[in-house]
Structure 1
Amino acid sequence: MPTSDKSTPRTVKVWDLPTRLFHWLLVIGIFAMWFTADILDRLGLHMTIGYALIGLIVFRLVWGIIGSDTARFSHFVHHPRHIIAYIKGAHKGIWLGHNPLGALSVLAMIISILVQLGTGLFANDQIYNEGPFSGYVSENTQDFLTYIHDVNFNILLGLIALHLLAIAFYQFKKHEPLVQAMITGKRALKPDETVQNPNLHFAGWLAFVIATIIGVGVWYLVSYRAPMVAGWLGLH
């Protein structure tokens, strides 16, 4: 939400380190998923990267609940009236973190990535590569989820393109340094801008422990406990 505080310094903290690491690792991971599947045709490596991205997304969901202010979903998931007011220009000042439209873009991409990763667990390439849970559904279901996997990737590419266009607009047209903020965690304020620093205090060791537990857990479940997970999902 836009805030004001005359005592704010000319640089304000925006993003904590775990959120920034998530962002750039996700960028690298999605590019690697496309590159290994469409360019290298290394679907085994493609699936391994997919498992890593599952862990990354699960961490972001957890961090969206217990992380610092701007990382929390409660901070940037706005009521529709706030989104409408933002579009109409009724709110003055700046938004720390994701503005209402940016938040919609982020949520749409997270949902699309979840669909991509989830369907990938059941997909097959009609040759010799298949997801770890493909054996627990019918061949028709495998083919359907593989189709969704392929179509959704194009949707995800479209969402990414819109996201990049929006960043370019804010970066060059509105002169809001969104990219720099996601790299340094801070953003410089314009002379007429005053905001209150969000609470970015967090235990770095806690974020590391959570990420490690999630990473090991995803690897273990996918690699060694696929039948158990299939049972949880009600698959046979």
Structure 2
Amino acid sequence: MDNNTSAHSSTEPVRIWDLPTRIFHGLWIAFFVLAWVFHEDNRYLNIHVFAGYAFLALLLFRLFWGLFGSHYARFRHFFYTPGAVVTYLKRLLSKPQQIAGHNPVGAWAIFILLGLGLVVSLSGLITLGAEERQGPLATLFHPATGLLWHKVHEFLSWLMLAVVAVHVSGVIIESILHRENLMLAMINGHKQRPASTLGVPRHGKMALLLCISILLGAGFYFGACLPYESGRACQPFLGPKLPDNVLWREECGSCHAIYHPTLLPQRSWVKILDTQHQHFGEDLDLDTDSRNEIHNFLTTYAAETLLTEAAYKILRSIPPETTPLRITETAYWQKKHADISQLIWQSPQVRSRAQCEACHLDAAVGTYEDSAMFIPN
């Protein structure tokens, strides 16, 4: 049956879009919007990441459905040459050509959106792996590359949004020219066409399977992938386990919260140990062997190693001519905590800027991931 139809005096509702295609269309938009809404505030990174995973999963389903789905959903039934696109546009104002499935312009928009969706998802996974040390690519990319991939991810997302805007505008224009509601057709699946037009099955079971898969994915992500502690959820750091030292934990942890070497540069740790007898009003009184062991640990795994996103960003914020002795003196720390009110600092749960564990679930291991942050009310 030909994909093209012409105006006919006798028409009836014909199912053009099967249920899986319509559900994909609606959910793909919804998860793109959800990811967009929660892309700024890192406290909601888990929602953004889940939306991204769902977005990618739906895209992969659409690729599968484009090969094995119903007639109008298959790619081979709306694969048009550039010449066909030009011809369609030329006839659009004079003699609009009604097509049962995707028209040439809409088809190209779909292929572009699917392609952009793939690269947006890939750049997001790389950013997640490089910056947050999470996801399937957590160990493949260095934190120093995270900023570049983050910018690429944002640019591609804006580009995709622009293509969506053009696509929606085209749908509205064609709805007016053809005098049919194309948006409604994507919701209910039907278009007014001659009775001879090929209709497609509903494919309800596949649609149900798609919905169940998304729900199970959400349950697995928020239930199994995110550890909960006192009602607080975080996505775990999946990069290489940070180096540890028993003596360092015992000596430093006996007086205050421990701060992993990655949080300050080598020169800071050297100066702190060189002035151990005047350590913020205290005398560390470390013997030579203990001092040397702790010194080696701190300088070997200092911020210059770039083992975490925090290490990279802290180091980048410190002018080379300065040697901060407190993490709170670094520009990155001050920027990240600038919007926290004095009431929170003075709250019983926090009490001090030195109590990192009050808000960071992973402070003890030193990773300081955004998704492991919980600011008490």
Q: TM-score, normalised by structure 1?
A: 0.77
Take 2:155 and 2:18, find their aligned partners in 1: how far apart are those partners?
Answer: 34
Per mean C-alpha deviation after superposition, the further-off stretch among 100-109 and 129-138 is 129-138
Quick check: which has more Rg, 1 or 2?
Answer: 2
1:106 and 1:74 map into 2 onto residues whose CA distance is 13
State the secondary structure of the residue aligned to 1:78: coil
Gap regions ≥5 residues in structure 2: 226-237, 239-377
* Aligned partner of 2:112 among 108, 111, 120: 108
Q: Matched residue of 2:191: which SS?
A: strand
State the SS of the aligned residue for 2:179. coil
Tell me how far apart the structure 2 counterparts of residues 136 and 152 of structure 1 sit (CA, whole Å): 21
The question of whether the paired residues in 1 share the 8 Å contact of 2:124 and 2:153 is answered with: yes
Tell me if the contact between 1:122 and 1:130 (Cα under 8 Å) persists in the aligned partners.
no
Task: Tell me how far 1:22 sits from its aligned partner.
Answer: 0.5
Measured in 2, the distance between the counterparts of 1:55 and 1:115 equals 13
Q: Does 1:32 align with 2:37?
A: no
Structure 1 residues 141 and 134, CA, compared in 2 at 3 Å: closer, same or farther?
farther
Report the alpha carbon displacement of residue 53 of structure 1 after superposing the two structures with TM. 1.4
Give structure 1 stretches of 5+ with no counterpart.
228-236
CA 1:135–1:95: 2 relative to 1, 3 Å: same
> What is the RMSD of the two structures over their aligned residues, measured on CA atoms?
3.3
Match of 1:53 among 55, 59, 62: 55
Deviates more, 1:135-144 or 1:72-81: 135-144
* More helix per residue: 1
Match of 1:44 among 39, 43, 46: 46
Looking at structure 1, the residues matched to 23 and 86 of structure 2 have their Cα atoms a distance apart, in angstroms, of 31
The answer on whether the counterparts of 1:14 and 1:97 sit within 8 Å (CA) in structure 2 is yes
Q: 1:172 to 1:149 in 2, by over 3 A?
A: same
**Which residue of structure 1 aligns with residue 5 of structure 2?**
3
Mapping for residues 72-87 of structure 1, pairs under 5 Å: 72-87=74-89
2:65 to 63, 66, 70: 63
Mapped to 2, the partners of 1:46 and 1:170 lie a distance apart of 33
- Percent of pairs with identical residues: 29
Q: Distance in 2 between matches of 1:170 and 1:7?
A: 20
Is the Cα contact below 8 Å between 1:36 and 1:45 reproduced in 2?
A: yes
Instruction: Name the CA distance, whole Å, in 2 between partners of 1:80 and 1:195.
Output: 30
CA deviation profile, 1:153-185 (whole Å, cap 9, x unmatched): 110111111112112212234423101101111
Which of 141, 144, 150 is equivalent to 1:137? 141
1:68 Cα deviation after fit: 0.7
Determine the C-alpha separation between the residues in 2 that align with 1:140 and 1:128: 11
Is residue 2:197 matched to residue 1:197? yes
- Indicate the SS of the match to 1:12: strand
Question: Which residue type is aligned with residue 116 of structure 2?
Answer: S
1:181 corresponds to which of 175, 182, 185: 185
**Contact 2:11/2:192, CA 8 A, preserved across alignment:** no
- Matched letter for residue 188 of structure 1: Q
Structure-2 change in CA distance of 1:84 and 1:196 (3 Å): farther
1:88, distance to aligned residue in structure 2 (A): 2.4
Q: Give SS of 2:127's match.
A: coil
Between stretches 87-96 and 146-155, larger displacement belongs to 87-96
Moved more, 166-175 or 143-152: 166-175
Q: C-alpha distance in 2, partners of 1:87/1:170?
A: 11
1:145 CA drift (Å): 2.2
Structure possessing the higher relative contact order (Cα contacts under 8 Å, 6 or more residues apart): 1
My pick for the range that moved more, 58-67 or 162-171, is 162-171
Q: 1:92 to 1:80 in 2, by over 3 A?
A: same
